[in-house]
Structure 1
Amino acid sequence: MTVALRHDDPTSLSMRLRHAQTMTRPLMLDIMRTCRRFPSLGQSEHTARVERLIDAQAWTDAALALMEFELPLWQVRRIAYDEGEWHCALSHERELPDWLDAAVEAHHADLALALLTAFVEVRALAAEAALPSVPSFRQTLDPFYEPAACENFGR
């Protein structure tokens, strides 16, 4: 598998986030490269803001800003610290009770990595939901094919 394919693979990126000890600039840039809505660097005020946060190594703020732009319908439902790990939950319907909500949860010792792990998992779920349930194929017609009327109009 090539390096380019590995960076775009949500499973590979999720595993890299889980196994990382701390957030790094190259890891954050790899995550940003997989984003569809995020414009190329230097094109908008929002991009410049995220770039400034990355330069300042404000990883949690950069993760929250990236999630706000890339996943506008998802919100942080819960952030909790328990027994040395940060637990994050992203929700599409934050106002629903916990037992009704299908929140995506992630955990990590680093808050930014916990947020970004949940972010990558939400994007993977969205990509799976966008796939059709029935595989489609392109029918190739025989070059000698000619439609014929086969109706019987007689009694």
Structure 2
Amino acid sequence: MSQREQNFEETLFQRIPQTKNLGIHIARMDEHQLTAYGDFLPNKNHLDIVFGGSIAAISITTAWSLLQSKIEQAGLKGSLVIKRQEIDYLLPVKTDFECVASFQSADDWEQFKGIYQQNGRAKIIVMAKVISEAKVTSRFQGVFVLYQ
């Protein structure tokens, strides 16, 4: 983990303290993608698989983190919230895992940024997938809104 990822992770835990309890760590922040690692033990349920609520929370957190890091990098000011989410659970998660968030297309960020700068409000779709044992175990799609 680079200093950038470490700094953002600390900021995440300060802004949304509950995220620290999810056992996630920011692993990589790229131009259009963010990867977080998740620990199995704090998220397992009575069936010895990762709790669906944890998968949803970690997916939202990873997607939010991608977008929030881009907002901070661009120097934009505003409040970022999730408006709507959808998640498909494909396979049970029985180990540590990773969650990878990305934009639907490379153009989405620039369009979002431009609309926000013009209107003071913009929305964007962010995708996330949980991967365990080299298999995609869930797919998330969230609509996020940035407003002044």
Per the normalisation by structure 2, the TM-score is 0.27
Bigger proportion of residues as strand: 2
Bigger proportion of residues as helix: 1
Q: Which protein has the larger Cα radius of gyration, Structure 1 or Structure 2?
A: 1
The higher relative CO (CA closer than 8 Å, separation ≥ 6) is in 2
